[in-house]
Structure 1
Amino acid sequence: MNKQELIVAIAADSGLTKADSKKALDAFISATSKSLKKGDRVALVGFGSFSVSKRAARKGRNPQTGKEIKIAAKKVVKFKPGAELSKNVK
């Protein structure tokens, strides 16, 4: 499902217009991004939680040449599904 298909599904389930559904989805993405950027955790009970984790610098290998390279440390977004979501997917 891509973003446009998600907007159509939200509009169908909620009774909102597609335009309002797009605004709601964009607002959710924006609010979640801002919160994660600050280092906060975003938890949606039953659905799951988004958090930021630090990944340490490490050594890797270029698969084409086999040469060792340095991979810089960075922050990554993690998603942990909630119990209800996990139950519905099975």
Structure 2
Amino acid sequence: MNRSDLIEALAERCPHLTAADAQAVVMTLLQTMAAALAAGQRIELRGFGSFSVHEREPRQARNPRTGAAVEVPLRRGVHFKPGKALRDAVDRAAHPKLP
């Protein structure tokens, strides 16, 4: 599912929203989440999961071809940890015979 599929699904499930309204809702949500993560905040959606920013310390690495030392700067990345309800739903979909 991509962003346009999400917008379409939202417009179908909420008939009072036009496609343009659904697009505005999805875009606002994504932009707000991106801004919060860029500011270093954690996002927790109960039952779905949580997004957090993880920092990797600067380090010295090696170029595999030449063996020369290379400085790798501090890196920030987004980490997603699924919630229990999402994990269980995915497990049930993959293994329908599970309780």
Paired position in structure 2 for 1:37: 38
Post-superposition offset of 1:82: 0.7
CA distance, structure 2, for counterparts of residue 41 and residue 73 of structure 1: 19
Paired position in structure 1 for 2:12: 12
CA distance, structure 1, for counterparts of residue 87 and residue 34 of structure 2: 23
Cα distance, 1:31–1:61 mapped onto 2, change above 3 Å: same
Gaps of at least 5 residues in structure 1 are none
Paired position in structure 2 for 1:60: 61
More moved, 74-83 vs 62-71:
62-71
TM-score (norm 1): 0.83
Paired position in structure 1 for 2:49: 48
Where 2:29 maps in the other structure, the secondary structure is helix
Instruction: Give the ranges of 4+ consecutive aligned residues of structure 1 lying more than 3 Å apart after TM superposition.
Output: 59-68
Post-superposition offset of 1:65: 4.9
Post-superposition offset of 1:23: 0.4
Post-superposition offset of 1:64: 5.2
Aligned residues: 90
**Percent sequence identity over aligned pairs:** 39
TM-score (norm 2): 0.77
